Amino acid sequence: MEKNNFTEFVDLISKYLSYDLQSGCMISNLHDLSRDDSNKERMEYVYNGENHLQVLDMDRIARTEYKKIKGAADKDSIINTADAFIITGKNQWYFIEFKNSIIKAGKKGLKDNIIKKAYANWYMLLDILYTMYQKGIRYEGFCYENPVTFAKNNINYILVCKQEDNPEAYNLIKKSDLAGEKYTPPFMLRLKDYLFRDAYLYTDEFLERKFVHGFEY
């Protein structure tokens, strides 16, 4: 892949981890990262669409090399993260989380887990960015002087569910799309209003049509 914002960021994380992310299979794709690991009987994926985008496997980074640097024992879980991370040519950052479940009111545990992942993922990247900054290595697209403003201008969080399992969510997403907007479930407003530029729900088909097809590094 030719040099761009995403590859520059991958290089920075590789230097932090002292680890070649490419050789360690930490660069993946949306299909593979949408696998539901809770299903031990069969492999099931939330996203089965177009699959040319390379993304960072955030969960693997957090649970392996980052954990080692932080000195955690193997049995300890330092951080739960979103599944994928990618940066556009316009320096918009995207955390993408796949959920093979029904997104509806009443599932407090699932919703709290999604919010915690968003915050934890952002804090992990801040830790990496500022650690490398102290060593004289910068990601030029990041505002070290004001990370709060940077997050509100540049970071987006997409929660992705299966369209066939979420007809109610699909209708809300479709209605918002027809109005030229994105659908943000009430529990995700905590991310959109207080932390990130945007946070919204897509079905797998909307992700392919509205995000993957138009993506540019």
pTM for the full predicted model? 0.94
Confidence at residue 70, expressed as pLDDT on a 0 to 100 scale: 84
Instruction: Compare 187 and 18 and report the one with higher pLDDT.
Output: 187
Confidence at residue 150, expressed as pLDDT on a 0 to 100 scale: 98
Sheet holding 27-28, edge to edge: 27-28, 55-57, 84-87, 93-99, 155-161, 198-203
Angle at alpha carbon of residue 36, lines to 186 and 129, rounded to 5°: 70
Per-residue DSSP letter, 171:
H
Q: With left for phi above 0 and alpha for psi between -120 and 50, is residue 180 left, alpha or beta? A: left
Q: What is the pLDDT of residues 52-105, one digit of tens each?
A: 999 999 998 998 889 888 876 555 556 789 999 999 999 999 999 999 999 976
**Strands of the chain, DSSP E:** 27-28, 55-57, 84-87, 93-99, 155-161, 198-203
Q: What is the pLDDT of residues 128-146, one digit of tens each?
A: 999 999 999 999 999 999 9
200: helix, strand or coil:
strand
Confidence of residue 159 (pLDDT cuts 50, 70, 90): very high
Query: With 70 as the cut, is the pLDDT of residue 21 above it?
Result: no
Percentage of residues of the chain with pLDDT beyond 90 = 76
Confidence at residue 74, expressed as pLDDT on a 0 to 100 scale: 59
Q: Which residue has the tokens 């993408």?
A: 96
Q: Which two tokens stand for residue 156?
A: 């987006």
